[in-house]
Structure 1
Amino acid sequence: MREIGDELLRWLEAGERFVLASIVGVRGSAPRDVGATAVVHADGTVLGSLSGGCVEGAVHSLALEALADGEPVRTSFDPDPDDPFAVGLTCGGQLDVYLHPVEPDTGFGPAAAAGSGPAGTGGTVAALSWALRSARRGLPVAVARVLATGRTLAVGTDEHVGGTGDAELDGTVVAEARAMLDRNASGIGQLCVSGGPEHSVFVESWNTPPRMLVFGAIDHAAALARMGKFLGYHVTVCDARPVFATRRRFPEADEVVVRWPHEYLAEITTDRRSVVCVLTHDAKFDVPVLREALRGPAGYVGALGSRRTHADRVERLRAAGLTASELERLRAPIGLDLGGRTPEETAVSIAAEIVALHNHGSAHPLTHTSGPIHVA
């Protein structure tokens, strides 16, 4: 939903009628993950995609039916090998899709935010609008929807908007949504309060973008900054040399910082989603910043340089006190073996290694592998 947020927010603020069609479950291979959303306007206009074409026609028809009925619907698309005309994914996967009609709220005041009104109204627009505005400001937010009713809550780190109509259930949903937001997880949870019935609640987490920290303002850094932005990272290029670390040289970066890399890294917050790429291949820069990075939480730490440069770097890092287990985290020479030489080709190889590590991929050619392409 977030990737079509600007247009969707305009529809919400204009009081348009539409259906949110969201993937809430995936089994097997599928082109899009849980949380992918297409929006079908009452006039038939579509934003976004769920499958790249396989189920779009059926989703469009079902969405218009749901909008006419005014009730949310959950449906599945399963491949049928015996029916060549059956709607399903050509890759053989299965999708669970939630169709959620959204009507204009009675207003954006306290009554709307509290979740009053019939299913699909009374707070949904207020909650979705608040969530999209928060995401636009770079704030982490989760959108929680009760599947049976469509009642919606937008949950931030310190506040929330919307409601289910049940204050006790609201508290449970908010707690679960915040826990999932902290893990950047999306999916369906079964929640209940006071021994009552279970409520299926779909939570879609929109965490802040992960950080890519590029140390060394060289040509390779410019190419990697472009690649990092393409992959959705908040990209920072940092170098101690002001003549090289300039906005003009790195227009795609979110930040260009003139600091000693190790001092800058020591002062900022990183987490397991963070990526650290050290491109200077100069010991006076490399060793201090790698010592800081390898003792921090970043999920990926890589360093550019030849094998000879790396062998010397490892000895210097050992002398600086790094342990064998800390050194095992270092990806160097950085990137996958793609045979590339240019800064752009090098950036692709680094990005490929980051994606493979993040998704636990083998990095082998799919031609030479078997089994599912998309591993759950």
Structure 2
Amino acid sequence: MLDLAEELHRWAAQGRDFAVATVVAVSGSAPRRPGAALAVDGDGTAIGSVSGGCVESAVYELCRQALQDGQPVLERFGYSDDDAFAVGLTCGGVIEVLVVPVRAGDPARPVLAAALGAAAAGEAVALARIVSGPARLLGRALAVRPAGHPGTAVEGGFGVHPDLDRTAAAEARALLDTGRTGTLEIGARGSRCGAPLTLFVESVVPPPRMIVFGAIDFASALVRVGRFLGYRVTVCDARPVFATRARFPDADEIVVDWPHRYLESTEVDARTVLCVLTHDAKFDVPLLRLALRLPVAYVGAMGSRRTHLDRAGKLRAVGVTDAELARLRSPIGLDLGARTPEETALSIAAEIVAARRGGTGVSLTGAHTPIHHDTRAAPATV
């Protein structure tokens, strides 16, 4: 439901009653992934989608019913072999949908409102909800903020035992730290309610950063591709005549500064990607010396193989180790035969995606590798 945070936050702030249906499990082929949501307010207005059209009408009616009776429900939808026109997923998959009413006075409303408010503001938050277990606990929720958050670390709870809330909060924060959505299985002993529980944890984190160093034509194309992939893109160059809004209208931020000095002062994390396109040793060497020692996801540098060898020698001369150099993607990008700035940007983006998702970069035709390298957390057991 956090994918609808901005609109649902407005609904909550306006005091409107609504119900939210969230995909909490998927097996086989399905058009939407866990976390996809459809919401319906008291007037019948609907936003979002759980299936791309296959079961929307049935889920809409479940939301309307939840608004009337105040009862959450977990419903399973799958393809019907007997009647292809029955409610089901014609793509052959199965989804489980949790429908929760969010009405004035409902215990879960303050928790959901807090999570929606954080997500709408672009802040990191994880929402954990009980999707399987005793009927009385279905839909109960707690919201978790990252470690070090100045406000309340945990909102709400399941009302069973403090140990269950502590366990759920710790596991939800672990998923939040990596920006992942997934399920958590808690055994009967750990649940403190005499039965096993399944929790569904949605995580929302701010967009990852892409920092492009070097205000060149290739950078302009890479900015567009980075935005398309969902990155918050910064362009940094020490030359004010090139680092302009007119040249980079799609960048989220343009910085005129020496690259290494900017990198020292800005915030990066394990999802940040750094693309060094300056192709000039006076910029590259101090920048890469710092970049290769930061806990970022990707560091790539443009240049020919000869340039790479020369640059590697200069980096070793200033103390960069072989282990640190091994992190450097240089020459930057995958071998696509790229020539134009747009093709080169695609090559770089493809390498970033492969590094992030665990892909090989080889053609899928004739390969025996998985098509989807799913790096999301597998269901944990406590």
TM-score higher than 0.5: yes
Q: Report the TM-score when normalising by structure 1.
A: 0.83
**For 1:187 and 1:307, how far apart are their aligned partners in 2?**
42
Structure 1 residue aligned with 2:156: 162
**For 2:225 and 2:95, how far apart are their aligned partners in 1?**
30
Structure 1 residue aligned with 2:140: 151
**For 1:27 and 1:369, how far apart are their aligned partners in 2?**
24
| Offset at residue 278 of structure 1 (A) | 0.5
| Offset at residue 204 of structure 1 (A) | 0.8
**For 1:53 and 1:195, how far apart are their aligned partners in 2?**
37
Contact 1:29 1:374 in 2 (8 A): no
Contact 2:2 2:35 in 1 (8 A): no
Structure 2 residue aligned with 1:75: 75
Structure 1 residue aligned with 2:119: 135
Contact 2:191 2:197 in 1 (8 A): no
Contact 1:143 1:205 in 2 (8 A): yes
Q: Which amino acid aligns with 1:208?
A: P
Structure 2 residue aligned with 1:233: 231
Deviation per CA, 1:164-217: give whole Å up to 9, x if none.
Answer: 334614444333322321232222223445574443322111122222111112
Structure 1 residue aligned with 2:379: none
1:337 to 328, 331, 335: 335
Contact 1:28 1:374 in 2 (8 A): no
**For 2:161 and 2:72, how far apart are their aligned partners in 1?**
22
Structure 2 residue aligned with 1:254: 252
Q: Which amino acid aligns with 1:163?
A: G
Q: Where does 1:85-124 land on structure 2 (aligned, <5 Å)?
A: 85=85, 87-89=87-89, 91-103=91-103, 105-106=104-105, 121-122=106-107, 124=108
1:309 to 292, 307, 311: 307
Structure 2 residue aligned with 1:190: 185
Contact 1:23 1:95 in 2 (8 A): yes
Q: Which amino acid aligns with 2:110?
A: A
Secondary structure of 1:153's counterpart equals strand
Q: Where does 1:155-304 land on structure 2 (aligned, <5 Å)?
A: 155-157=144-146, 158=149, 159=152, 160-166=154-160, 168=162, 169-191=164-186, 192=190, 194=192, 196-304=194-302
Cα distance change, pair 164–255 in 1 and its aligned pair in 2 (3 A): same
Q: Which amino acid aligns with 2:169?
A: V
Structure 1 residue aligned with 2:109: 125
Cα distance change, pair 91–301 in 1 and its aligned pair in 2 (3 A): farther
Cα distance change, pair 290–242 in 1 and its aligned pair in 2 (3 A): same
Secondary structure of 1:229's counterpart equals helix
| Offset at residue 24 of structure 1 (A) | 1.6
Contact 1:240 1:259 in 2 (8 A): yes
**For 2:335 and 2:79, how far apart are their aligned partners in 1?**
37
Q: Which amino acid aligns with 2:141?
A: T
Contact 2:272 2:296 in 1 (8 A): yes
Cα distance change, pair 248–154 in 1 and its aligned pair in 2 (3 A): farther
What RMSD in Å do the two structures reach over aligned CA positions?
A: 2.8
Return 5+ residue gaps in structure 1 as ranges.
107-120
Contact 2:273 2:299 in 1 (8 A): yes
Q: Which amino acid aligns with 1:36?
A: A
Structure 2 residue aligned with 1:115: none
| Offset at residue 368 of structure 1 (A) | 4.3
Secondary structure of 2:142's counterpart equals strand
Contact 1:29 1:375 in 2 (8 A): no
**For 2:298 and 2:75, how far apart are their aligned partners in 1?**
38
Cα distance change, pair 66–269 in 1 and its aligned pair in 2 (3 A): same
**For 2:28 and 2:367, how far apart are their aligned partners in 1?**
16
Cα distance change, pair 4–327 in 1 and its aligned pair in 2 (3 A): same
**For 2:347 and 2:72, how far apart are their aligned partners in 1?**
44
Q: Which amino acid aligns with 1:344?
A: E
Return 5+ residue gaps in structure 2 as ranges.
132-136, 375-382
Structure 2 residue aligned with 1:10: 10
Q: Which amino acid aligns with 1:150?
A: G
Secondary structure of 1:176's counterpart equals helix
Cα distance change, pair 74–273 in 1 and its aligned pair in 2 (3 A): same
Identical aligned pairs, as a percentage? 56
Secondary structure of 2:289's counterpart equals helix
| Offset at residue 375 of structure 1 (A) | 3.9
